[in-house]
Chain A
Amino acid sequence: MLHSFGLSWESGFIDSIVSNLLLVLASLMLINTFKYYLPRKERYGYILGMCGTTSVVWLFITRAVLLLILPEKYKSFYSDSVYLRLAFGFLILGLMSLLSVLWYTLKDQQQNESRKQEAEKLAKEAELYKLRQQLHPHFLFNSLNSINALIGSRPEEARQMIHQLSDFLRGILRKEENQWVSLNEELQHLQLYLDIEKVRFGHRLTTSIDADEKIREMKIPAMLLQPVVENAIKFGLYDTTETINISIEAVKENDQLILTVQNPFDPTTSLPQKGTGFGLSSVKRRLYLLFARTDLLETSAKDHLFITSIKVPQQ
């Protein structure tokens, strides 16, 4: 066919090299584009459009390059074969686009899948951690150990402690996250916890609760005070070797219930930023979820006292 146009086979060779090289380049460009931009399902027409445009551009560039290096008479041959070339280019580019879109969509799905699995795993771990925290393992096993010791020497006290521990655990299981209870109910549950801790730590721990009858009728979200008191006890007991007093006080101010928990601490060895431990940050988060406010929990340190106060807006 070439000879009928009066062209040598060298020209044909150069033509095919140039055309195909440029076509490979165009394909790579398209593939690279799909790597970063994957059209949505309803826009698959875009792919055809992109292939068409690219083929036309490819055609023009090929023509320009070929005319630069090949004899003038090649022009007419090119014009005669232009539709064939266009069809060929479009076909190849379309095929490449299809393959790359398929490939990248598959990859995307795999990534999404693994992300989802990762997220689910994290959520499960968080839930498990929360469950474990609710069980208070350290407190539970130490209490059981105290009971074990009491059984031999003071069986009556052992029995009493078993009942306190059971009531405390039952209380934890019964209470739901978003339930509101009276302050009285919360304080009674807290008292069980404090009584058990007093058996464990003996004379080292004393507690005082100050709340009058009227205030005890005010409402608070269930188990809000518990982690604050736990934090105070842990902080107080492990930060000094002396006897400690934990005081809990409830007052009413402008229709808000204000709860204050105090524990001693040692300012020389406790880092100030450590003041809000894990327990308090979870309380803070809960208050934010309930009231959309971040100013309801405050901590301060005065001399050797660490003070945590919570404001509970009444509903």
Chain B
Amino acid sequence: MKKAIIIDDEPLARSIVKEYLSFYPQIEMVEECSDGFQGVKAIQQHKPDIVFLDIQMPKINGFEMLELIDEPPAIIFTTAFDEYAIRAFETHAVDYLLKPFSRERFAKALDKWLSVKDTSKLKEATESLLESTAHSPSQTERIVVKTSGRIKIIPLHEIQYLEAADDYVKIFTAEGNYLKKKTMNYFEQVLDPKLFVRTHRSYIVNVQQITRIDAYEKENQMAILTTGVKIPVSKNGYIKLKTMLGI
């Protein structure tokens, strides 16, 4: 028996997937969720084999929700109209259903999934999809993190700086710091280059937080933030910082 979860904020959109699924006795619908918060919980609890996921949902969208899950299951995306998302699905060969979809189209997607023996391929496709959707307009305005079971949405302007921490990146805000399993290079690419600068191999700083830059040792500098925190600035980082501030 395979387990399925449906995540969609519209009840009727969930019911049509449920209806189509009822023709597959080997698949059990274990839970339906109306937003990404419930979705994260349900996926962790049930460890489903397949998830039907809508993109546009309250608070966090489908992509942001997936970012919060360590081991994403197989996903079939469902969306009505989202040019950006559709382009992403196509480039990463991830299966998606455009609403309204027919039973035949639904069957095709499910058969394709059921015929896949090597699930690692599916996972790879989802992961590369997430890398690319991080550049989507909505997601470059905020970062969604998980902190002790809670989900926190951090608007970009609230971020003071980011620090590398092994496989994670530590995000510092006035309220505290949060971990996200991503690389510094990832954030350097995703964050607004007008607001953030990588001053050091292990640091990215919000330039609006900088009050002054002090010389430190021979070739290095220190950026002093409004909070008093000192951020190392490498030789290269100093050049980037100077061009950005126009000095």
Contact across chains for A144 and B157 when beta carbons are under 8 A apart:
no
Shortest distance in angstroms between A281's beta carbon and chain B's nearest beta carbon? Answer: 16
Contact across chains for B10 and A141 when beta carbons are under 8 A apart:
no
Given A141-B100, A269-B142, are A149 and B13 also a contact pair (CB < 8 Å)? Answer: yes
Contact across chains for B100 and A240 when beta carbons are under 8 A apart:
no
Contact across chains for B15 and A269 when beta carbons are under 8 A apart:
no
Contact across chains for B100 and A199 when beta carbons are under 8 A apart:
no
With an 8 A cutoff between CB atoms, is A76 at the interface?
Answer: no
Contact across chains for B58 and A145 when beta carbons are under 8 A apart:
no
Cβ-defined partner of B81 (8 Å) among A138, A150, A199, A200: A138
Contact across chains for B59 and A144 when beta carbons are under 8 A apart:
no
Closest B residue to A151 using CB positions: B16
Cβ-defined partner of B80 (8 Å) among A141, A204, A269: A141
How distant is the Cα of A80 from the Cα of B82 in the complex, in angstroms?
Answer: 84
With an 8 A cutoff between CB atoms, is B37 at the interface?
Answer: yes
Which residues B137-186 have CB closer than 8 A to chain A? Answer: 141-142, 153, 155, 157
Cβ-defined partner of B59 (8 Å) among A145, A146, A239: A239
Contact across chains for B56 and A238 when beta carbons are under 8 A apart:
yes
With an 8 A cutoff between CB atoms, is B11 at the interface?
Answer: yes
Shortest distance in angstroms between B133's beta carbon and chain A's nearest beta carbon? Answer: 17
Residues of B contacting A140 in the complex (Cβ-Cβ under 8 angstroms): 81
With an 8 A cutoff between CB atoms, is B99 at the interface?
Answer: yes
Contact across chains for A202 and B11 when beta carbons are under 8 A apart:
yes
Closest A residue to B54 using CB positions: A142
Contact across chains for B81 and A137 when beta carbons are under 8 A apart:
yes
Which residues A198-239 have CB closer than 8 A to chain B? Answer: 199-202, 204, 237-239
With an 8 A cutoff between CB atoms, is A254 at the interface?
Answer: no
With an 8 A cutoff between CB atoms, is B9 at the interface?
Answer: yes
Residues of A contacting B37 in the complex (Cβ-Cβ under 8 angstroms): 241
With an 8 A cutoff between CB atoms, is B98 at the interface?
Answer: yes
With an 8 A cutoff between CB atoms, is A81 at the interface?
Answer: no
Given A153-B15, A239-B59, A241-B35, are A144 and B153 also a contact pair (CB < 8 Å)? Answer: no
Shortest distance in angstroms between B56's beta carbon and chain A's nearest beta carbon? Answer: 7
Shortest distance in angstroms between A275's beta carbon and chain B's nearest beta carbon? Answer: 13
With an 8 A cutoff between CB atoms, is B245 at the interface?
Answer: no
Residues of B contacting A237 in the complex (Cβ-Cβ under 8 angstroms): 9, 58
Shortest distance in angstroms between B118's beta carbon and chain A's nearest beta carbon? Answer: 32
With an 8 A cutoff between CB atoms, is A271 at the interface?
Answer: yes
With an 8 A cutoff between CB atoms, is A152 at the interface?
Answer: yes
Interface residues on A, range: 20 to 34
Contact across chains for B99 and A144 when beta carbons are under 8 A apart:
yes
Residues of B contacting A150 in the complex (Cβ-Cβ under 8 angstroms): 12
Closest A residue to B38 using CB positions: A241
Interface residues on B, range: 20 to 34
Question: Residue-by-residue, is A133-176 near B (CB-CB < 8 Å gives 1, otherwise 0)?
Answer: 00001101110111111101100000000000000000000000
Closest B residue to A269 using CB positions: B153
Contact across chains for A238 and B100 when beta carbons are under 8 A apart:
no
Given A138-B80, A152-B19, A269-B142, are A238 and B12 also a contact pair (CB < 8 Å)? Answer: no
Given A141-B100, A145-B99, A269-B153, are A240 and B59 also a contact pair (CB < 8 Å)? Answer: yes
Shortest distance in angstroms between B234's beta carbon and chain A's nearest beta carbon? Answer: 31
Contact across chains for B99 and A141 when beta carbons are under 8 A apart:
yes
Closest B residue to A138 using CB positions: B81
Residues of B contacting A266 in the complex (Cβ-Cβ under 8 angstroms): 59
Contact across chains for B12 and A146 when beta carbons are under 8 A apart:
yes
With an 8 A cutoff between CB atoms, is B57 at the interface?
Answer: yes
How distant is the Cα of A126 from the Cα of B11 in the complex, in angstroms?
Answer: 35
Shortest distance in angstroms between A305's beta carbon and chain B's nearest beta carbon? Answer: 17
Which residues B81-96 have CB closer than 8 A to chain A? Answer: 81-82
How distant is the Cα of A238 from the Cα of B10 in the complex, in angstroms?
Answer: 12
A sample of 25 cross-chain residue pairs with beta-carbon separation below 8 angstroms, ordered by A number, consists of A138-B56, A138-B80, A138-B81, A138-B82, A141-B80, A141-B98, A144-B99, A145-B10, A145-B13, A146-B10, A147-B100, A149-B15, A200-B10, A201-B9, A202-B11, A202-B12, A238-B58, A239-B58, A240-B59, A241-B35, A268-B153, A269-B59, A269-B153, A269-B155, A271-B155
Binding site for B on A (CB under 8 A): 137-138, 140-142, 144-150, 152-153, 199-202, 204, 237-241, 266, 268-269, 271, 274
Binding site for A on B (CB under 8 A): 9-13, 15-16, 19, 34-35, 37, 56-59, 80-82, 98-100, 141-142, 153, 155, 157
Contacts A142-B81, A145-B16 aside, 13 further interface pairs with beta carbons under 8 A come to A138-B56, A141-B98, A142-B10, A145-B13, A146-B12, A146-B13, A148-B16, A149-B12, A200-B10, A202-B12, A266-B59, A271-B157, A274-B141
Q: Which 7 A-B pairs have the closest CB atoms?
A: A141-B80, A145-B99, A149-B16, A149-B12, A145-B100, A148-B100, A146-B12
